A and B are shown apart, each in its own frame.
Chain A
Amino acid sequence: MNTYETVFIMNPVLSDDQVKETVKKFVDHIKANKGTITQEENWGLKKLKYTIQKKKTGFYYLIEFQADGKIINDLEVEFKRDERVIRWQTVKLEKFALEYAERRKKKMSTNTKAN
């Protein structure tokens, strides 16, 4: 089991419900393949630094999960097939990255508590 982190960008024309639906689809896909979600982050609508498929903005979403390496291929195929997703990137988290991710999570939770 490895820890992975996926950031994906969704089409900006989607409604909030459609965004949720898209995210749910991928979360369910990971869960169905015996993966466990450790972190989810919604970055909201962000401006892209360059145009992708003629779009200048997109909904960013981050999923951190633990899963077997075999499912990554399937997951990427799912991303590729889904027209609502315009860009995705899956990264394996190694030792130092995991430490960083833990610290980041703590920071995020304290920030949300303060708000």
Chain B
Amino acid sequence: MAKTDIKYLSPVDVELKNQNKYCRFKKMGINYIDYKDPEFLMRFLNEQGKILPRRITGNSLKFQRRLAVSVKRARQIALLPYVADNLK
């Protein structure tokens, strides 16, 4: 069957607003991300304990890299899980 165009009665709400994402480490002036503070690192993880991508958190590349190192260190000493089901 040929592809049919989907027609909407009312215009679809597409989020065109460019939500200004920013790197919170840059903004707050944090230059060292502590691996001993799991509660803080938890903000950058999803429910399965995976590190959230930059496109969601808005971190700069520099701090995303440092964050990843800190999360991995925290996992090594069992302050964060490697795999989880309901972290939040």
Chain A residues with CB under 8 A of B82: 50
Interface SS of chain A: helix, strand, loop or mixed?
strand
Chain A residues with CB under 8 A of B78: 9, 48-50, 52, 58, 87
Is the interface on chain A under 10, 10 to 19, 20 to 34, or 35 or more residues? 10 to 19
Contact pattern, B 26-66, Cβ under 8 Å of A = 1, otherwise 0:
00000110111010000000000000000000000000000
Give the B-binding residues of A (Cβ under 8 A).
7, 9, 48-50, 52, 58, 60, 62, 87, 89, 91, 96-97, 99-100, 104
Q: Which of A58, A60, A87, A96 contacts B76 (CB 8 A)?
A: A87
Check A99–B73 contact: CB distance below 8 A.
Answer: no
Chain A residues with CB under 8 A of B80: 49
Given contacts A7-B36, A89-B73, A91-B73, contact A96 B79 (CB under 8 A): no
- In the complex, B6 has a CB within 8 A of chain A: no
Check B36–A96 contact: CB distance below 8 A.
Answer: no
Chain B residues with CB under 8 A of A49: 38, 75, 78-81, 84
Chain A residues with CB under 8 A of B36: 7, 62
Chain A residues with CB under 8 A of B35: 91
Q: How far is the CA of A96 from the CA of B75 in the complex (A)?
A: 21
Chain B: which residue is nearest A99 at the CB level?
B32
